[in-house]
Structure formats: structure tokens, C-alpha cells
Structure 1
Amino acid sequence: MKKYIILIPVYNDWQSVFKLIQNIDLQLSDEIVDILIVNDASTEKYEENLTGISRIKSVKIINLNNNGGHRRAIATGLKYCKDNLEFDYVIPMDGDGEDRPEELKEFFNKAKMNSDVVTAVRVKRSEGALFKILYFFHKIITLILSGKMVRFGNYSCLSKNAVNKLLSDGAIWLSFSGAVTKHFPNHDFIHSHRGPRYFGPSKMSLFKLIIHSLNISVVFKDTLFIKIGLLITGFAILAYYLSYYFLILCLFSWIFLILVVFLGAEDDLKKLESSSANIKSLDSLYSR
């Protein structure tokens, strides 16, 4: 029987995480499932609330020294799983309720067919109209810059082979969905309905969404460099033959190129390989 690890990054949102774990337990039958929470240097202490669970095998928490954001917490958790745990599949999952536990069954079914990578492609979202519009533009910007249509987030099901491949370079340190798209362009998928947050408003601001789009695109920086180079050349030619005003667009293209180089520095295998040094402790909350 296949062994699953559900990997949940969290920063302070403990109430949601413990509710999520209880809801995950309700969706299990005979699957072997361990929960691994990556505590991304939360400033708030948690009050354990795991009453009523009976199907989950264990719940553990990796406590990190320094906050690095969800993408680095997931990368650190994947490396910890690879180095220390036995598993067949890892399922990264946001802890706020937006990744619905009801869809785990579909992941399990795909795993039974030995799919290497399965992502949750969102076909319905629970946010307001403004966020849906912004998210649409996020997908379009990512498509224009990278040439890839990325329609999924962290919620996915990764085989041991896939985890090893994702950890073979630094792309996952920069962007989880970008790294998956890079290494597994023809991966399997399920249709996902984005659930409502259990508690509190979304923490995804417009600025974070823009950086998220850029990080995905920078994973494909070779393609991006070519596109920016063509823009700079084109604007320079237009400035020479038509109007010096095109030099302003040429300047913005250079600034964007510098930004891409800056963000691309996070595509760093050494940082990924040394991420275990950021682990402060391991807490075991539940075991049966």
C-alpha cells in the first residue's frame, strides 16, 4: 500500500491548520497518511487541537529558525522528506482551507495509476471578482513572459521520483509551480474547486501576486532573456529611426532585465541544499 506525506506550510495560521487536519482525517479510509507541518518561524504559539482524528498515522511539525515564505518552506519540507522519511508520494497543501481535502481522493486514485506528478488545476475560485480579475492577468502575464500557461498552485501529488527531480536544481527554491512546469511539462492533473478560507482574509496582495508571476517566469529565464533582448534591440532601432522617446521604453526594458537577474539569483541549488540548517526542531503532535 502506498505511503503519503501531506506537507503543509504555515505561518501563524494555526487555527486553520488544525481544522484542516481534522477535515483531512474525515476523507481517509485505508490510506497510509502522515502529516508534516512546516512552521515557517511563526511568531504565534499554537494550541494543539487534534481531537477526534483516528485515520491519520502521525502529525509532526518542523520548526524553522527563519521565515522564508511558503515556497521556501515547501522546498525545505520536500528536502526533509527526501532525506529522512519513507514515502511514495508527497502532497503539498496550503493550510488555510483553500486547498480542499475533499479532492485528496482524486489524488489517491491518480497515485494508484502510478502518475508521477498530479496538479490541482483550478476551475472554480472562491475569491471576489477583483481577485479573479487580477489572477486572470497573473496567468496572462506568466504566459507572455515564460511561454507557459500555469494554472495550478502548491496543491499537487508528487511521486518520490518527482521529488528527487525537483530537488535536483534550484528552481523550486524560486517557484514551486514554475519548477513543476519546467521539469514535468506534461504532468497529469485533476480539476479543483478553490475552497473558502477557514479563518481570516487572504494574505495574497497585488504586490505578492506580481512577484509570484515574475518568479514563475524567471524559472524560464533563458526564454525571458531572449524576449527582453529582442525588446531592447527593437526599441533601440525605433529610437534611432523614429523617435528618441523609444529610449524610455528601452530603459524600462533594461530595468526589467536587471529585476529578472535579481530574482533569478534565488534559483540557487546551494541555498536549497543548505535549507536543513534552518530547521530548529521537530515536534511530534500525534501518532497511532
Structure 2
Amino acid sequence: MANTPHSLPDRINVVIPLFNDWLAVGLLLERIQSVVDEPIRSRLAFLIVDDCSAINYETLPTGIGQSLSILRLYRNVGHQKAIALGLAYLADQPDQHPTIVMDSDGEDRPEDIGKLVQRSVEQPGHVVFAHRSKRHESLVFRSFYIVYKSVFRLLTGKVITFGNFSLVPATQLRKLAHVSEIWNNYPGGVIRSRLPYTAIPLERGRRLAGESKMNFVSLVLHGLSAVSVLIDTTAVRLALFCVLMVVVSIFGIGILMYLKFFTNTSIPGWTSYLTTSFLIVILQAFLISLLLVFIVLSYRIQPQFVPARQFKDFIERLEKVY
């Protein structure tokens, strides 16, 4: 299906979470002006979610798209929560429009905005993510990112190959704003919400200015937040692993008892040592399973933060640039 002005919505919101990256976001807007086709560019309405930056912008490009506004937050809440607040603010508006989520540093390439829009036209009602087909980080970072994806799949049974760069259709925006899990991790929240989603392979760009704030510690925290979104599934998988360890330990004790009492192959001293080790494994597995049960029960009874209902508590003001 070809992208024609008639097949495009009248307005496309662009949520850009930002913390101190004013130079980069200025360059990003200029790049959007130069590389995004006019039929799409003229429909863009930018909402920069200022995550309580320590500095302010000196100047920002104007006349790009329909509008540019800055949503000022009272306090720093982090990248994922800033996205959730931006989505909740737009979901609270009288009219709903497709909404693109992209980073402020340029690593989400403006050239790919049209591809997200095109896929959304082809698959209406689906959240469209950018699957990273190529990355430009260091080898160490990419290696740990592969480990993160593998661990996420092992613990949750889900495959996550995408980040924040995405397009939320207008029909799904308010539903997504009521998903409490996007407060901790936006991609994981979409997976948890069971809203239909798809992904297209797109290359990750390079930072336009400044230095990346993502490091090993940030990646670990990001991974933990993604896993926490699916804590109940993770807990069940860990509990099943504990059950497996108990079964293996009991089987091991049975073999040791058989060797000790019915054969002459047991080694003096080793039987009691290994039996004690297996009993310790059984006790630890039981305690871990009990802890997981309490964690899941506690998670289920605690009131959840719903961005659509509580976002106003974090918003200081809306500042219109043009």
C-alpha cells in the first residue's frame, strides 16, 4: 500500500523524553526537517517531555511540523516514566492521534519515521516497534545486550528485540495509558498489555550530540525493570526451576542410598557429604519458592500506578514553543 496524503492521519504526535539533551534534540528536529517527507513532516506535532532537566535550552528550531510543546515535570522520574507521562498526557486530550515515541539523541533515526507510519497504515490497530537490525555501540555493550535479551526470554518466555522507538495507533493510546506496567518499562508494558504489536527491522542511528547515559549499570537496571513487568510469569518459571532442582536432588539422594546399602561401590564419607548437599539444595529451593509466592501475592494486592489517572501529579506546566 502506498503512503498517500489521503491515507495519513491529519496529525501525528511525537513524544520525545529528554534530560539535559537540548543540543541533541535541536539537531534531531533539524534532521527531521531535512529527511522526513513533507506529507508526513507537516503532520508532526512534537511533545518534548522535560524530565526536570538541570539546564534549559537556549534556542530550538521552529516551523517544523504543526507544533512543538514542552511538558515540564516537577521531578526527575527517569526515561521510561517520562514516556508514560507523555503518553498519558496525550491520551487525556479530547482528540486522539497516532503517537510516535522516539529518543532525543538521534539514535532513533528520523528517516525511519515514514516506515513506522507506513507499517501502521498497513496494520491498523497495531503498535509498531523498531526492531534493531544493526547497532553502533561497543562490542562489550552489544554482548551484554545479547545476554539481556537471552535472560529476558528465559525468565519470561517472551522475545524482546525492540526498544522505545515505536508508533502507537490512535485507537490504542488511551488503552495503553491505562496499562500500569508502562510506568516501569514501556516495551515490556506493551507486551504485558496484550495489545497487538508488530516490529520492523530498522538500523539504530548514532548520537547527534553529547555522550550516551546508557552504561552497564543502566542496562542492568533497564533489564530488571523489563523483567519486573512480567514478575508473575518470571516467578512461575523460577518456581518450576526450584521444583526441578528438588526432583533432581531427591533422585540424587535415592541413587546414593542405593549405592550405600545395596552395592559395594560407595566411597566412605562421600555419601553423607553429597546427601547433606542435596538436602541443602532442597531447603534452598523450598525457601526460594516460598519467597516467590509472597512476592507475587504482594504484587497482586498492591495498588498499581495507572499513568492515565495519576499523571497530573507530575506535570508542572505545558510550555508551547510554537
Aligned amino acid, residue 120 of structure 2: A
> Given the superposition, is the C-alpha separation of residues 141 and 263 from structure 1 closer, same or farther in structure 2, using an over 3 Å criterion?
farther
Shift of residue 183, structure 1, vs aligned partner: 2.9
More deviation in 84-93 or 242-251? Answer: 242-251
Shift of residue 257, structure 1, vs aligned partner: 4.0
Aligned amino acid, residue 109 of structure 1: Q
Q: Which runs of 5+ in 1 are unaligned?
A: none
- Equivalent residue number for residue 121 of structure 1: 131
Aligned amino acid, residue 37 of structure 2: L
| Secondary structure of the structure 2 residue equivalent to 1:123 | strand
Contact 1:218 1:260 (8 Å CA) reproduced: no
> Given the superposition, is the C-alpha separation of residues 199 and 154 from structure 1 closer, same or farther in structure 2, using an over 3 Å criterion?
same
Deviations 1:17-41 (A, max 9, x none): 1111111122131231100000011
Shift of residue 270, structure 1, vs aligned partner: 4.1
RMSD, aligned CA: 2.8
> Given the superposition, is the C-alpha separation of residues 253 and 22 from structure 1 closer, same or farther in structure 2, using an over 3 Å criterion?
farther
Please say if 1:48 is aligned against 2:59. yes
Higher helix share: 2
Q: Which runs of 5+ in 2 are unaligned?
A: 1-7, 254-274
Please say if 1:148 is aligned against 2:168. no
Contact 1:172 1:267 (8 Å CA) reproduced: no
Contact 2:96 2:171 (8 Å CA) reproduced: no
Deviations 1:94-136 (A, max 9, x none): 1111100010111121233353211100000011111110110
When the two structures are superposed, what TM-score results if normalisation uses the length of structure 2? Answer: 0.79
- Equivalent residue number for residue 236 of structure 2: 226
The aligned runs of 1:1-288 (5 Å cut-off) are: 1-2=8-9, 3-26=11-34, 27-31=36-40, 32-50=43-61, 53-84=62-93, 86-116=95-125, 117-184=127-194, 187-236=197-246, 241=253, 242=275, 243-246=278-281, 250=285, 253=288, 257=292, 268-270=304-306, 273-286=309-322
Aligned residues between the structures: 284
- Equivalent residue number for residue 271 of structure 2: none
Shift of residue 46, structure 1, vs aligned partner: 1.5
Runs of 4+ aligned structure 1 residues displaced above 6 Å come to none
| Secondary structure of the structure 2 residue equivalent to 1:277 | helix
Structure 1 distance, partners of 2:27, 2:281, is 55
- Equivalent residue number for residue 259 of structure 2: none
| Secondary structure of the structure 2 residue equivalent to 1:203 | coil
Structure 2 distance, partners of 1:263, 1:203, is 33
More deviation in 238-247 or 69-78? Answer: 238-247
Contact 1:98 1:197 (8 Å CA) reproduced: yes
> Given the superposition, is the C-alpha separation of residues 256 and 134 from structure 1 closer, same or farther in structure 2, using an over 3 Å criterion?
farther
> Given the superposition, is the C-alpha separation of residues 33 and 260 from structure 1 closer, same or farther in structure 2, using an over 3 Å criterion?
farther
Structure with higher Rg: it is 2
When the two structures are superposed, what TM-score results if normalisation uses the length of structure 1? Answer: 0.88
Shift of residue 193, structure 1, vs aligned partner: 0.6
Structure 1 distance, partners of 2:231, 2:135, is 29
